[in-house]
Amino acid sequence: MTVTADRLGSLRLELARQGVAGFLVPRADEHQNEYVPASAERLAWLTGFTGSAGLAVVLPDAAAIFVDGRYTLQARNEVDAKLFEQCHITEAPATEWIAANLRPGEILGYDPRLHTMPEIERYAAAAGKAGGNLRSLDRNPLDAVWRDRPAPSPLPAVPHDLRFAGRSSEEKRGGIAASLAAAKTEAVVLTLPDSIAWLLNIRGEDVPYTPLPLCFAVLRADATVTLFIEEGKLPPVTRAFLGPAVAVGRPQDFGAALEALGAGGRRIQADPATASAWIFDRLKAGGAAIAPAPDPCLIPKAAKNETELAGARAAHRRDGVALTRFLAWLAAAAPGGALREIAVSDQLERFRREGEHFRGLSFPTISGAGSNGAIVHYRASEASERALEPGSFYLVDSGAQYLDGTTDVTRTIAIGEPSPEMRDRFTRVLKGHIALASCRFPQGTTGSQLDALARHALWQAGLDYDHGTGHGVGSYLGVHEGPQRISKVASAQPLVPGMIVSDEPGYYRTGAYGIRIENLIAVVPVETEAAERRLYGFETLTLAPIDRNAIAPALMDDAEINWLDTYHARVRETLTPLVDPATAAWLATATGPLG
């Protein structure tokens, strides 16, 4: 009997003990984090699947795992198909599987802390179709049988210095509290750790890649806060930093606190898009009048202040030094032909670690040579990695967490001489990158309105890429941050000054090569003579050469060539004083005019 069969069997026994037929196992924690702590890796423990998104449904005689197109192959390798039917999460969704497999009268259990209300409504409808029912379980049955479940991280939450944060927590709390008071709302429940980290100017080490302290909080209209966090995670220095307006509660008391909060029909705000069903259950149980609204920290957190922008620029100078040293090293080492993906990305990480304020990577590096570059969410392993061979592209998408900023950059490097088709595609991706980076737009414009600018040059040749053009980025916080984004998906969120987004069009030829050119860009006001509208544009933050050896100059117009030459001159002038002479010499060549 395999480990997985054993685990699945013990979960089914526990389900029977709790009087339910089935259970939902999402790849989610209590905060809907992108990166979850080891103690929340329930899906991986049960099924073996280690991807970043997915869901398992367990019934007495059947079980299935649902993953998206990125992970179809990986799930096939990691999950025992005899135990879990493998399904595409949108083409054969879990709701349909439940409707077809749950039997009349059976109860499907779920952990209300791990699902949002809209999810639960969909699963309840599916169970209803089958003649069964969905039931909220007080005690997660998987946790009951997961004997060696990792303990929560003991690492402390630490103050995030005002010289990086730019605004005091008092000021931030005051601003949001005033709008709560104006809306006659008693309090807001905050469930996103990055919102709380931003609001209280603290950081932590509880999940990989993002400096989050896992916690919940309640902010009241009088600007006081109760922070619910594991005991021991607040050393005296952090406790003192939080000040007297922040009370501290134990996580196990959070539910009772929510019930007390809304007593007497008080108006309590929570975000149905991100707060779990359990939060709403507790508020309702206490008698609250629930005011559903987006997390009020999202917009002020996304619109970086001047200090955060200055920090982002400084972090990107350091990141640019590391990248440039790396690219110079690669240019010298690659012709030997012996370089492989993992060693190359390790070298990049070594250069980054030497930078001041470096705290770690901001996500797992994508280091893809040749055909591996065409796998959008590729992660190199010893089994999969390829050598960097002449006539190929090498794609590296990486980023770091610095105390003063978060970076995310992709460069595609020609190893040897690219084919005319590769040059054509690279140049179209670059034209899209430039079109977005250089555009101006009036106040009120959303990222979805700008998305086509980055795709236009590819579209003209009948080409496209199947991912968004840009995601929001935090300030020493999540490398993926909302609500701003540049995407085909319709959005009502205007871009406002201070928001940082990525600009990362790409092109992928399966089995051959992948191209992506990514800089981070910040929304900035633009002053133009005769402008009749409040006008915004982008400031490029990322500083690293774009490989001129991969460009077909004949496809570029004068304005595009001018943009590239100006960008390269800025990279050269900024970084030359910060690198060693050999790197500086390489940089001088790499950033020369295209014309």
Under the rule (CB under 8 A), what is the footprint of a second copy?
Answer: 439-442, 445-446, 448-453, 456, 459-464, 488, 490-492, 526, 528, 530-533, 535, 557
The neighbour count for residue 180, using CB atoms within 10 Å, is 23
With DSSP H G I counted as helix, E B as strand and the rest as coil, what are the percentages for the chain, rounded to 5? 40, 20, 40
Contact 226, 217 (CB under 8 A): yes
CB of 459 to a second copy, least distance (A): 5
CB of 443 to a second copy, least distance (A): 10
* Nearest to a second copy of 233, 455 (CB atom): 455
Nearest to 542 by CA among 502, 591, 482, 514: 502
* Nearest to a second copy of 29, 451 (CB atom): 451
Q: What is the C-alpha to C-alpha distance for residues 295 and 270, in angstroms, rounded to an integer?
A: 7
* Nearest to a second copy of 68, 78 (CB atom): 68
CB of 463 to a second copy, least distance (A): 6
Q: Tokens standing for 382? A: 């010893």
* Nearest to a second copy of 239, 533 (CB atom): 533
* Nearest to a second copy of 452, 594 (CB atom): 452
Q: What is the C-alpha to C-alpha distance for residues 198 and 187, in angstroms, rounded to an integer?
A: 18
CB of 492 to a second copy, least distance (A): 7
* Nearest to a second copy of 149, 488 (CB atom): 488
Q: What is the C-alpha to C-alpha distance for residues 259 and 263, in angstroms, rounded to an integer?
A: 7
CB of 562 to a second copy, least distance (A): 13
- DSSP letter at 129? H
CB of 424 to a second copy, least distance (A): 9
CB of 567 to a second copy, least distance (A): 18
Q: What is the C-alpha to C-alpha distance for residues 549 and 416, in angstroms, rounded to an integer?
A: 9
CB of 280 to a second copy, least distance (A): 23
In degrees rounded to 5, what are phi and psi of residue 515? -130, 135
Q: Tokens standing for 318? A: 């350091």
Contact 160, 197 (CB under 8 A): yes
Q: How many CA atoms lie within 13 A of 28 on its CB side?
A: 22
Q: What is the C-alpha to C-alpha distance for residues 31 and 194, in angstroms, rounded to an integer?
A: 10
At 499 the three-state DSSP class reads strand
Q: What is the C-alpha to C-alpha distance for residues 47 and 56, in angstroms, rounded to an integer?
A: 8
Q: What is the C-alpha to C-alpha distance for residues 408 and 403, in angstroms, rounded to an integer?
A: 15
Cis previous bond, 553, omega within 30:
no
CB of 497 to a second copy, least distance (A): 15
Q: What is the C-alpha to C-alpha distance for residues 247 and 220, in angstroms, rounded to an integer?
A: 12
Exposed / middle / buried, residue 139 (Cβ in 10 Å: 0-12, 13-18, 19+): exposed
CB of 512 to a second copy, least distance (A): 12
In degrees rounded to 5, what are phi and psi of residue 232? 90, -15
